[in-house]
Amino acid sequence: MIDLEIIYSFNCLISFQQQDHYQHQAKLQFTSTKINLLLNSQCYEIDISYQLALKWKCQENKLLSMHFQQFTIYAENEDLLILKKHLDCKVTYVGIREIYDNVILIQQTGNAKTCTLKSKIDDKNYICKCYKKQEFEKCRIYEQLMILRKLNEFKNVARIIDFFESSNSYYIIFEQMNRIHYHNLSHEDIQSMMFVYQIKQQDILCCVKVLISNKIYHSQINLCNILMDKDMNCKLIGFENAELLNEENDVLNSLMLTMAGNVMIKLYQYNSSNKDLICIPDYGNSLVQGLLQSKQDQQINIEQALSHEYFDYFDNNSSPMMQQQIIPKLKSFITQQSLQSPIDSNI
């Protein structure tokens, strides 16, 4: 058996269920897969997995203790924060009200509710997706968590924060994001935001690229599942509609490219008074046609899409992306009848 490297250790006090009022001095250390509790000559090893149910105690923006199995651990706030950061989304937390409050319902669709929460630790707002257990299989929750953890460092995927479970619900906590309400924008507003649309379309294609490279299929790449963070980065959500693939699947990759093309059409529909005659600037027409080709051997691939001349009007090296001096004109048109794949009205 190979000893795993200790990531961090700290002194703590431990009490047991049968000895609630007696605390033992001990040391807690953790590796990538285990929590070790060193008490006198004993060492308790606890596996880090979703089977480990753990409850935090928080007061006045500080963590006081955590409880799992028969142990209650008391330690300094700074040490517990380091441990929590390591355990976030790798174990199952219980007692969501200990960490979050001020629940405000945003949306209820199908088998899930979306709420905003406020953390008692840092006073920041977060998004919570709540699923009823009788309507959502546990294996699907775990697969969603595995996918989100795999993509957690990618800037165009919603960042997962915590995972909680109660007697009847699952809760996945995400970073704060906002939906863009395009229907509230005037024609002039959208004209001035054309460069933002190009940035967004490139972000969406980047999402498709990272999904393909990680062998993940997302079946609902649409405007309903694209939010924006405070830095105006597109964030893909809706990973209850995603699955891990055993191997790369060209057919499913092609479908995701088609969905990205449909999103691009939908964005530019808001700029056209005639929804059947969609106005796309410069080379956007050929990009959309390439994404929506129904024959796989004629469809452009993800690398060709990201390097398309449609994006040449923008300086990719600046942050945020800025428009260059040459201002693209709306000079090409695309109609529904000219597309090989129809526009999905549900996007």
pTM: 0.81
Using CA atoms, how far apart are residues 72 and 79, in angstroms rounded to an integer?
15
- Interior angle at CA 320, CA 288 and CA 174, nearest 5: 85
Per-residue pLDDT of the chain (347 residues; tens, 9 = 90+): 345 799 999 999 999 875 566 789 999 999 999 999 999 889 999 999 999 999 999 999 999 999 999 999 999 999 999 999 999 999 999 999 999 998 888 888 778 899 999 999 999 999 999 999 988 888 899 999 999 999 998 989 999 999 999 999 999 999 998 876 555 555 455 444 554 555 577 888 999 999 999 999 999 999 888 888 888 788 899 999 999 999 999 999 999 999 999 988 887 776 555 556 666 666 778 888 999 998 989 999 999 999 988 877 554 433 333 333 333 333 344 444 333 433 332 32
Using CA atoms, how far apart are residues 267 and 192, in angstroms rounded to an integer?
13
Cβ atoms of 71 and 37 within 8 Å: the answer is yes
Using CA atoms, how far apart are residues 96 and 103, in angstroms rounded to an integer?
11
Contacts of 221 (CB under 8 A, 6+ apart): 204, 207, 208, 236, 256, 259, 260, 263
Distance of CA 28 to the CA centre of its chain: 31
Using CA atoms, how far apart are residues 208 and 299, in angstroms rounded to an integer?
15
